[in-house]
Structure 1
Amino acid sequence: MTHRVDAPPESRVRAALDELRQRAGDNGTQPSVLALASKFGMSNTTFRRHFPDIAQEIAALRSAPPTPGAPREPTRYDRLVARNAKLKRHNRELTETLTLAACHIQRITLENQKLREELEAATGVARLTPIPSRRSATS
């Protein structure tokens, strides 16, 4: 057996709806029938039975496309696209850094070779290149 629920006056429900819309607009969500019904201690079905017009208004608000200026919650796809773009940027930066590091190593190697040659010429000492060791075939 169900108990009888005293429905609040429509003016009070509309005032609560306006407050719910304001709060929803502030945090970027949309008002729901369930949230409004629970505010008055009613079930969703009971609220819809007593206030069908208000329930339809809320449903229309939820199904309306978002306004162009209003922020919307990014979808999983949007987050994935953003993450992919961030990873591509990071990868490009790392590739550029690696290329730059390789260029520096090449330049330093050439400078080192040139300095060795100048040192050998200035001191009159020739650099001995190591002879590769010969290993016996038995080892």
Structure 2
Amino acid sequence: MTAHRRPLPSRTDVRAAIDTLTAQTGRRPSVLALATRLGLPNTTFRRNYPDICTDLTTARRTPDDTTSTDAYTACKADNARLRRTNRDLATQLDLAIAVIQRLSTDNDRLRTALHQAQSITPLPRRPR
């Protein structure tokens, strides 16, 4: 007695699925994503399509030169922007600390003056 098996997709169907996933995500699919898309277990896909697995694996490991250059440039620009923002925030923090210190001393001085002013003995009023 033999187990019931579904027929495997043809290589053109597999290539079409690769193109579809690439168009949807904007990058080459992983072997697992492709096998899932085709409704096959990962090991069955790897066993029956080793050349496609090899192509996908090497394509994912070696990024395009333009993509890596663009990503490197974007990362470098992002780091420079973050450093500038960090420096600006550190300056603003120093200014805020100085303002808080000045306000604290002003508050203490005004409270002292208020307490001294309240300790003045009021003169009794003359009756009219």
Structure with greater helix percent: 2
1:98 Cα deviation after fit: 2.8
Instruction: Determine whether 1:34 maps to 2:70.
Output: no
Match of 2:17 in 1: 16
Q: Secondary structure at the match of 2:70?
A: coil
Matching residue within 49, 52, 58 for 2:50: 52
What is the TM-score when the length of structure 1 is the normalising length?
Answer: 0.51
Contact 1:34 1:44 in 2 (8 A): yes
Contact 1:48 1:55 in 2 (8 A): yes
Contact 2:31 2:42 in 1 (8 A): yes
Match of 1:4 in 2: 5
Match of 1:116 in 2: none
1:92 Cα deviation after fit: 2.8
Contact 1:5 1:42 in 2 (8 A): no
Q: Secondary structure at the match of 1:34?
A: helix
**Structure 1 residues 92, 35: closer, same or farther in 2, change over 3 A?**
same
1:46 Cα deviation after fit: 0.8
Contact 2:35 2:41 in 1 (8 A): yes
RMSD: 4.0
Structure 1 residue ranges without an equivalent (≥5): 75-81, 109-129, 131-139
What is the TM-score when the length of structure 2 is the normalising length?
Answer: 0.55
Match of 2:62 in 1: 64
Percent identity between the aligned chains?
A: 34
Structure 2 residue ranges without an equivalent (≥5): 76-81, 107-118, 120-128
